[in-house]
Every structure is written in structure tokens, then in C-alpha cells.
């Protein structure tokens, strides 16, 4: 009776160890990158990879609940504009504006989510798209937000003192790189904590079968709303960082096409079954490829588009799905399949079919 | 507020809305038969406009043959694209999202190719049917009348094609259930290919029709987002719904532009969509199943 349990424990600890060693090695490599890469341009690209990866993680986060979110870029923009407004109009320091912008984005998501999260499927997808378009138009139309010209000269973060380290001033790209790593680490930690908590299990149940989850006593609306607020607040956090890093904002950056769809592409090309590694790999490849293809000049978007099509046609499980030997039984891909099937089923059919289904 | 201005605004809205209806019916076909959310649709609209422009100004072809050529060219391109890309995705897992991404990549390719071929600057076209008609103090340009008449003719023709011909019946059968259609001897692949060609042809036709009215630019493809809203607002697969939604959009834009300016009128339209889709997630005339949770 004792034996099988023991082997199980042993195996579990073993895989756990291997995984944590891998994570430690990865973190050390990421921390050492600025020591090897000196060009500010490549550091800039890596910072953008980090932002994109975090945004793509929020896509998978909501996909697990069974929602396809088209307002990622909009909430990213809300965070960025909120932070810019707070520092420029109210003269708040960046270190207060960062959490404040996150909270403001969360509050906006709460208000919008109260309307949106009652529906799912197209009833959720298209209103998020409408909301995202409204956000960009509002930023562009009203002069408070600088119009379509945008905002420039957003202040850089104030220097901070960390014990045992010299004074950190945000004059070069390297401090931003470390700040980005820290924020992404916070996001990954928070998301993985949620995934393994009871809330995460409820979300997973909703993503697999919402009617079954509802029958087990899970309040669909409340859980969807929570997930929507958390995902949007993370977008706002990355937006606030982006605003102060880039120090200029233009409304066009935050349009749902192509920015939000790009976030979806990052996640899907990396592999939907991998909630953290997938977006990171996808964002890494797709942010760097266009830059390296820039040598060929203006036909770069054509080559990138061809690359995406080839990847989609020949690596349907994503790049990581292609590489890993693990069987793809993880649930997010299942839930995507489910969404696809459901959308197929919700497309118009003849009356007899509908009656049969009832 | 003089009555004549209101009537002119209505005619403007009608002309603009009907073109959206045309685009939405093509999008609807692609959405219901091959079941692709075809985001690259707007690029075909842009290509149609440029083919017409190229033929008329570089080849000295008259308007109607050029319009037919634009329709044909986009239809053939749509068929090729379906054969090369989307037909392979039809048998994949995660078909819905994969389709969206392939379509987006396609739109990137076409938009950039158009940018390289035609340049960034907007190109105007002289009016094909100059002149205005004066009916009881209300002036309407002949161009708008021709536009409305042609659009209505094509919409009626499309409806007859879908309801009365064998190819149209095959399309409806495949959209109902591809497997059952195959049992009746309807090839799902060929039907989807034909639908894609018809849908893209409609986009090219609309583009050619709008070319003399609006300026041409490679950014015209961004119209997809409005087409998407019209389709969703009307309800997927519903022709009458598309007509209703297209007219709502046209009227909102034309009246809004006159009274509150273009930016605010677009915000107004999105708010209207937001409210309608909140209460009817399936669209105005959509199916009630759309609010079944995933």
C-alpha cells in the first residue's frame, strides 16, 4: 500500500526540482543579458518583447475562462494615458502613478465588465471590440488627451535607492530592462498563483464547460468579471510602464487592429497550451523577426505575414507545441476548440436543426 | 431645419449604408459557408477600387467593363487564397482562431503590397456621372442615384442567386451542414471556394463602386472593422439584419457628421452597438442561441 504513493511523491518532487532549476537558470540568463548586449537598440527590443509577452499572457488568462478579449490594447492604452495624466497634470511621482494607473484601469474594467461579462461568445467579443474602438476615438477626439497628435515629454521615473545597490537613475535603457523583468515576474507570479488557487480552478471549469460549472455552484458572472478585471489591470500596469518608458503616446498605438490581434498571434504562435512560455516565445520571435527583416526594406511586412501563415499552416499547436514531446492534453487548447465548435454551432442553421438541438 | 437638407442627409446615409450592406452580405457569406472570420475582407475592397482606377486611367477602359473586371479580379484572387490557405485550415483543430490569424497575416501582406505598388498618397478620381438632378428643390447628384441603383440591383441579384439557383442552394446546404451536403453530392470544398470567390467579388464590386465617390488610399482596408460591426449588429447570416444594420450605420454617420462631427458620430455608433449587443448578443435579427454560454 505504501509503495505506489512513495514513487508518486518522488516523481513529483523530481519534476518540480527540474522545473525550478530551469526557471533559476532562465532568470540568471535574463538578468545577465545587459552585461552581454550593449546596444541600446536590442535592449529596447527586449523591453518591447516583455511588454508584448505580458499582454499576450492576459489573452491566455481570459481564454482559460472561455472569453476572447479584443480590448487588450485599449486597456493597455487606458493604463498608459492614466499614468501620463497623473504624472503630468497632478505631478505625482511615477512610483505612485504606476499602481494608481493599474487601479484606475481595474475600475474602468469593472464598470465595462459589469455590462460585458453577462454574455459570452460573440456577445462578449464584439462589444469588447466596440469598446476598444471607442477608447481610441475618445483619446483622439478630446483635447484633454492630446488629440491624434498624442502626448509627448512624459516624465521618466524618478531615481530610486535600493539597499546594497547604487542609486538607480532611469537615464539609459538598462534600468528599464530590469524594471520590465520585475513587472513581468510579478505578472507571471500572480497569474500562476491564480491558476493554482481555487479561483483558478473555478475559471478552468468555466472554460471547459460553463453550464457544468454553473451547475456546480460557480457564479459565472462574478468569476468572469474577476478574471476580466485582473487581466485588464495587468494590461494597465504594462501600459503605465510603456508610457514612461517610451515617453510619448499616440492613440493609433492602441487600436484593436493590429495591436490586440498581434497579442493573440504571439500567444497562439507560441503555443496556447503554455500560459507563460508560449506568449514569451511568440513575442520574442515575432518582435525580433520584423526588426531583423528590416534589412530587406519595405517588403518586411510581406515576409512577416508569410512567416505567420507558414507557421499557422505547419505548426498548428504553436512553436512550443511543435518542440515539446508532451501530449497536448492541456485544457486551453481544448477550450479553444470548444469555442470554435460553439461558434460554428451558433452560426445560423435551419429551423429543424435548431429544434432538434432543443 | 429645412426639409431639403434632411432629405439630402437621408440620401447620403442611404448611399453610404447600402455599400456597407453590400460588403456585409459578402462577409456574411464567407462567415456562414466556409466559416472563416475573414479579416482581410477590406483589402479586397481596396484592391477592387485600385483595379478600377488602374483600368480606367492607365488602360482607358470605360466604367462598366472596368467594374466587371474589378469584380472578376478580386473574385479570382479570393478563390486562389481559399485554395492555398483556408482550405488547409478547415480540417485543423482550433479552426476558428487559426483562421482569424491567417486572415490577418493575409491582410498584412496585401496591404503592404498595395502600399508598395500604389504609393501612400490618396488618389482622387473625377466623377463618372457628373451632374445633379433637381426634384422639387432637392438636389441629388446623379452619381449617388447610380450608386444606389447598382447596389440594389446587385443585392436583389445575390438574393435570387442564393434562393433560386443550384449553386446558391448548395451554398445554403453547406452552411447548414457540410457533411449532409456531401451526402447529397455537394462538394463542400468547391462550394466554399465558390462562396469565397463570390464574397470577395462583392467586396471588389463595392470598392469599384465607391472609387469615384471617395479618394483611394491603401488604408481603405480598415473598413473591415465597420463591416464586422454591421454583420454583428444585424445578426450573423441574416440578410435583412445586414440591411437594417447597414442603414443604421449609414444614417448615424451621415446625420452625425452633419450635426456633431465625424469623431463623435463614430463614438455614437459604437455606443449604439454596445447597447444593442448588450441586450441582444446575437444581433438585431440574430439567433437566440448566441447567448448560450460557451
Domain spans of chain B? 3-291
Give the E-state strand segments of chain B in sequence order: 132-135, 138-141
Name the residue with higher pLDDT: A107 or B10: A107
Q: What angle do CA A245, A226, B275 make, to 5 degrees?
A: 90
Give the E-state strand segments of A118-245 in sequence order: 151-152
Q: Would you call A213 exposed, middle or buried from its count of C-beta atoms within 10 A (0-12, 13-18, 19+)? A: buried
Q: Is B228 in Cβ contact with A129 (below 8 Å)?
A: yes
Q: Is B176 in Cβ contact with A353 (below 8 Å)?
A: yes
Residues in B 269-288 with any Cβ partner in A closer than 8 A: 270-271, 273-274, 277-278, 281-282, 287
pLDDT in tens, A46-62: 999 999 999 999 999 99
Task: Report residue B136: phi and psi, to 5°.
Answer: 55, 45
pLDDT in the model for residue A193: 93
Position B174 pLDDT exceeds 80: yes
Give residue A16's pLDDT band: very low, low, confident or very high (50, 70, 90). low
DSSP A300-353: HHHHHHHHHHHHHHH-TTHHHHHH--S----HHHHHHHHHHHHHHHHS---HHH
Mean confidence (pLDDT) of chain A: 83
Contact A332, A64 (CB under 8 A): yes
Position B272 pLDDT exceeds 50: yes
pLDDT in the model for residue B199: 94
Mean pLDDT across A173-183 = 92
Mean pLDDT across B199-203 = 94
Helices of type H across B94-187: 95-118, 142-164, 166-176, 178-183
Residues in A 63-92 with any Cβ partner in B closer than 8 A: 66, 68
Position A14 pLDDT exceeds 70: no
Crossing angle (nearest 10°) for helices B224-234 and B41-58: 130
Cell (9 digits) for B15: 448611399
Position A38 pLDDT exceeds 80: yes
Name the residue with higher pLDDT: A125 or B52: B52
DSSP A27-53: HHHHHHHHHH---HHHHHHHHHHHHHH
pLDDT in the model for residue A343: 57
Q: Is A348 in Cβ contact with B237 (below 8 Å)?
A: yes
Of the candidate ranges A116-130, A150-164, B74-88, the one whose mean pLDDT is the lowest? A116-130
Cell (9 digits) for A94: 511615477
pLDDT in tens, B82-129: 999 998 888 776 677 788 888 888 988 998 898 888 887 877 777 777
Contact A242, A51 (CB under 8 A): yes
pLDDT in the model for residue A165: 78
For residues A110-123, one letter each, b for 16 or more C-beta atoms within 10 angstroms of the residue's C-beta and e for the rest, the string is bebbeebbbbbbbb
Q: Is A344 in Cβ contact with B35 (below 8 Å)?
A: yes
pLDDT in tens, B30-80: 988 888 888 899 999 999 999 998 898 888 888 899 999 999 999 999 999
Mean pLDDT across A152-160 = 88
Position A259 pLDDT exceeds 50: yes
Query: CA nearest B93: which of A339, A324, A208?
Result: A339
Name the residue with higher pLDDT: A269 or A223: A223
Tell me the range of A78-92, A287-301, B7-21 where mean pLDDT is highest.
Answer: A78-92
Cell (9 digits) for B199: 464574397
Least CB–CB distance from B294: residue in A120, A127, A353:
A120
Query: CA nearest A208: which of A196, A192, A197, A220?
Result: A220
Local structure of residue B280 (DSSP, 8 states): -
Residues in A 297-326 with any Cβ partner in B closer than 8 A: 298-302, 304-306, 308-309, 312-313, 316
pLDDT in tens, A274-284: 889 999 999 99
pLDDT in the model for residue A311: 84
Query: CA nearest A119: which of B291, B88, B134?
Result: B291
Name the residue with higher pLDDT: B139 or B202: B202
Q: Which chain B residues are closer than 8 Å to A338 by Cβ?
A: 294
pLDDT in the model for residue B287: 65
Signed CA dihedral, B191, B197, B201, B204: sign only:
positive
Mean pLDDT across A304-316 = 84
Question: What residue ranges do the domains of chain A occupy?
Answer: 39-255
Alpha-carbon distance of A192 to A54, in angstroms, equals 13
Position A340 pLDDT exceeds 70: no
Position A262 pLDDT exceeds 90: no
Give strand pairing partners of B133. Answer: B140
Signed CA dihedral, B201, B205, B210, B212: sign only:
positive
Contact A315, B88 (CB under 8 A): no
| Min Cα separation A210/chain B (Å) | 6
How high is the ipTM of this complex?
0.82
Name the residue with higher pLDDT: A214 or A77: A77
Instruction: For chain A, say whether B231 makes contact (Cβ under 8 Å).
Output: no
Give residue B291's pLDDT band: very low, low, confident or very high (50, 70, 90). very low
Give residue A316's pLDDT band: very low, low, confident or very high (50, 70, 90). confident
pLDDT in the model for residue A64: 87
Closest chain B residue by Cα to residue A336: B94
Please, what's the largest Cα pairwise distance for chain A? Answer: 74
| Min Cα separation A121/chain B (Å) | 7
Of the candidate ranges A140-149, B116-125, B133-142, B144-153, the one whose mean pLDDT is the lowest? B133-142
Q: Is B224 in Cβ contact with A141 (below 8 Å)?
A: no
| Min Cα separation B102/chain A (Å) | 5
C-beta neighbour count of B267 within 10 angstroms? 21
Give residue A351's pLDDT band: very low, low, confident or very high (50, 70, 90). very low
Least CB–CB distance from B101: residue in A308, A335, A348:
A308
pLDDT in the model for residue A337: 61
pLDDT in the model for residue A280: 94
Alpha-carbon distance of A26 to A47, in angstroms, equals 16
Instruction: For chain A, say whether B175 makes contact (Cβ under 8 Å).
Output: yes
| Min Cα separation A276/chain B (Å) | 19
pLDDT in the model for residue A334: 55
Task: Report residue B103: phi and psi, to 5°.
Answer: -65, -40
Interface test with A, best of B42, B97, B280 (most A CBs within 10 A): B97
pLDDT in the model for residue A179: 93
Report pTM: 0.80
| Min Cα separation B235/chain A (Å) | 9
pLDDT in the model for residue A358: 47
Q: Is B294 in Cβ contact with A210 (below 8 Å)?
A: yes
The listed CATH number (3.30.310, 1.10.3470, 3.30.70, 1.10.8) that belongs to domain B3-291: 1.10.3470
Query: CA nearest B241: which of B25, B41, B33?
Result: B25
Task: Report residue B267: phi and psi, to 5°.
Answer: -60, -45
Mean pLDDT across A322-347 = 56
| Min Cα separation B163/chain A (Å) | 14
Cell (9 digits) for B59: 488602360
Using CA atoms, how far residue A250 sits from A86, A151, A152, B132, B152, in Å, is 17, 7, 9, 42, 40
- Phi/psi region, residue B284 (left: phi>0; alpha: psi -120 to 50; beta: rest), is alpha
Place of cell 433560386: B164
Amino acid at each position: 500500500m505504501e509503495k505506489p504513493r512513495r514513487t508518486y511523491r518522488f516523481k513529483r518532487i523530481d519534476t518540480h526540482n527540474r522545473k525550478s532549476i530551469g526557471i533559476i537558470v532562465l532568470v540568471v540568463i535574463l538578468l545577465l543579458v545587459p552585461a552581454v548586449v550593449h546596444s541600446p537598440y536590442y535592449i529596447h527590443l527586449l523591453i518591447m518583447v516583455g511588454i508584448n509577452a505580458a499582454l499576450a499572457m492576459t489573452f491566455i488568462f481570459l481564454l482559460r475562462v472561455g472569453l476572447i478579449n479584443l480590448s487588450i490594447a485599449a486597456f493597455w492604452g487606458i493604463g498608459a494615458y492614466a499614468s501620463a495624466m497623473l504624472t503630468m497634470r497632478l505631478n505625482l511621482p511615477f512610483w505612485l502613478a504606476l499602481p494608481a494607473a493599474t487601479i484606475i484601469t481595474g475600475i474602468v474594467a469593472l464598470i465595462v465588465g459589469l455590462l460585458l461579462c453577462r454574455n459570452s461568445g460573440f456577445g462578449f467579443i464584439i462589444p469588447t471590440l466596440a469598446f476598444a474602438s471607442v477608447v481610441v476615438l475618445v483619446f483622439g477626439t478630446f483635447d484633454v488627451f492630446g488629440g491624434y497628435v498624442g502626448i509627448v515629454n512624459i516624465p521618466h521615473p524618478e531615481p530610486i535607492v535600493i539597499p546594497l545597490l547604487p542609486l538607480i537613475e532611469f537615464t539609459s535603457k538598462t534600468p528599464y530592462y530590469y524594471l520590465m523583468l520585475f513587472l513581468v515576474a510579478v505578472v507571471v507570479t500572480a497569474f500562476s498563483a491564480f491558476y493554482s488557487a481555487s479561483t483558478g480552478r473555478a475559471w478552468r471549469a468555466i472554460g471547459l464547460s460553463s453550464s457544468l460549472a454553473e451547475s456546480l455552484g460557480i457564479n459565472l458572472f462574478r468569476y468572469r468579471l474577476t478574471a476580466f478585471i485582473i487581466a485588464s489591470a495587468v494590461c494597465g500596469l504594462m501600459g503605465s510602464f510603456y508610457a514612461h518608458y517610451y515617453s510619448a503616446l499616440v492613440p493609433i498605438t492602441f487600436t484593436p487592429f493590429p495591436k490586440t490581434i498581434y497579442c493573440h498571434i504571439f500567444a497562439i504562435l507560441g503555443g496556447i497550451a503554455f500560459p507563460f512560455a508560449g506568449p514569451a516565445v511568440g513575442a520574442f520571435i515575432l518582435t525580433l523577426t520584423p526588426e531583423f527583416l528590416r534589412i530587406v526594406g519595405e517588403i518586411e511586412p510581406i515576409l512577416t505575414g508569410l512567416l505567420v501563415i507558414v507557421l499557422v499552416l505547419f505548426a498548428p499547436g504553436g512553436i512550443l507545441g511543435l518542440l515539446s514531446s508532451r501530449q497536448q492534453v492541456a485544457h486551453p487548447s481544448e477550450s479553444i476548440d470548444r469555442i470554435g465548435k460553439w461558434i460554428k454551432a451558433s452560426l445560423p442553421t435551419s429551423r429543424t436543426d435548431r429544434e432538434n438541438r432543443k | 431645419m429645412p426639409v431639403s437638407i434632411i432629405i439630402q442627409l437621408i440620401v447620403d446615409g442611404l448611399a453610404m449604408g447600402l455599400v456597407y450592406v453590400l460588403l456585409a452580405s459578402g462577409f456574411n457569406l464567407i462567415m456562414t459557408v466556409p466559416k472563416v472570420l475573414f479579416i482581410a475582407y477590406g483589402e479586397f475592397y481596396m484592391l477592387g477600387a485600385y483595379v478600377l482606377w488602374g483600368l480606367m486611367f492607365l488602360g482607358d477602359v470605360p466604367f462598366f467593363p472596368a467594374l466587371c473586371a474589378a469584380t472578376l479580379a478580386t473574385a479570382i484572387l479570393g478563390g486562389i487564397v481559399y485554395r492555398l490557405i483556408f482550405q488547409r485550415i478547415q480540417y485543423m483543430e482550433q479552426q476558428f482562431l487559426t483562421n482569424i490569424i491567417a486572415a490577418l497575416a493575409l491582410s498584412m501582406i496585401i496591404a503592404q503590397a498595395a502600399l508598395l505598388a500604389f504609393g501612400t498618397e490618396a488618389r482622387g478620381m473625377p466623377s463618372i456621372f457628373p451632374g445633379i438632378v433637381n426634384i422639387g428643390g432637392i438636389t441629388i447628384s446623379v452619381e449617388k442615384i447610380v450608386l444606389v441603383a447598382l447596389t440594389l440591383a446587385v443585392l436583389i441579384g445575390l438574393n435570387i442567386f442564393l434562393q433560386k439557383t443550384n449553386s446558391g442552394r448548395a451554398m445554403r446546404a453547406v452552411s447548414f451542414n457540410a457533411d449532409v451536403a456531401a451526402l447529397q453530392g455537394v462538394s463542400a470544398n468547391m462550394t466554399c471556394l465558390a462562396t469565397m470567390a463570390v464574397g470577395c467579388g462583392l467586396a471588389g464590386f463595392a470598392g469599384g463602386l465607391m472609387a469615384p465617390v471617395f479618394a483611394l488610399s491603401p488604408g481603405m482596408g480598415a473598413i473591415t472593422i465597420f463591416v464586422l460591426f454591421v454583420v454583428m449588429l444585424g445578426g450573423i447570416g441574416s440578410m435583412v439584419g445586414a440591411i437594417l444594420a447597414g442603414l443604421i450605420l449609414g444614417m448615424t454617420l451621415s446625420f452625425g457628421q452633419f450635426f456633431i462631427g465625424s469623431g463623435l458620430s463614430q463614438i455614437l455608433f459604437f455606443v449604439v452597438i454596445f447597447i444593442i449587443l448588450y441586450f441582444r448578443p446575437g444581433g438585431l435579427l440574430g439567433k437566440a442561441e448566441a447567448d448560450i454560454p460557451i
